[in-house]
Structure 1
Amino acid sequence: MSRENMLRVRFSDDEYDRLKSLADEAGVSMSQLVRDHLGKVRVRNREDEKERVAMLNRINANLNMIARWVNTHKDSADSIEVVSHLMVIERHIAELSK
């Protein structure tokens, strides 16, 4: 395969040394190491990540409210109500995993 395209990337000394070390350990060139990992790296969209964190914070707040309610009303805790809240949280978590 002909490789005519080149990408120039600037590294700090530490980053360069780390990449060199990884390539040496694998017995390949630094270029080969990068090419070998192109399909294995997952790049996340920062906006999506912010939305996920906000959703997780809301879920965490809901869990805390449910736990507080259950602890406060141990004798009168309505298990159906608690389960329905947990189902809502489960749906939110499923949305995050899409």
Structure 2
Amino acid sequence: MEKRNKNLLVRVNNDEYDRAKKMSEYYQMSMSEVVRISFCGSNTLDKNIRLEFLYQVNKIGVNLNQLTRKVNIKDKQTPFDILLLGEVQLIKNELKKLSKQYDEIIKIKKAK
């Protein structure tokens, strides 16, 4: 990796500074890295966003599976339980669609 030996002074307003600071804290990067990634178009930030997205979708799926299991292990299901299972299935279907759309976006990005 080439040594970075040049300085670049960039002036930003308060909102831009706050946004860069929040991004650096969220992604655990220095502000220089955030600015460099934004300026140079690195995929590191995109990768972190994708990983966070997949993590959150997975958490939703796990919660839905736990909910479904609790309803299914009951001896007697109430009308509310049956309604709940139907809603859970609709949400799972939407998550599958979202995953497929995500996969398509990744394929398009890789093709570029």
Is the shorter-chain TM-score for this pair beyond 0.5, marking a shared fold?
no
Bigger radius of gyration among the two: 1
Give the TM-score normalised by the residue count of structure 2: 0.40
Larger helix proportion of the pair: 2
TM-score by length of 1: 0.44
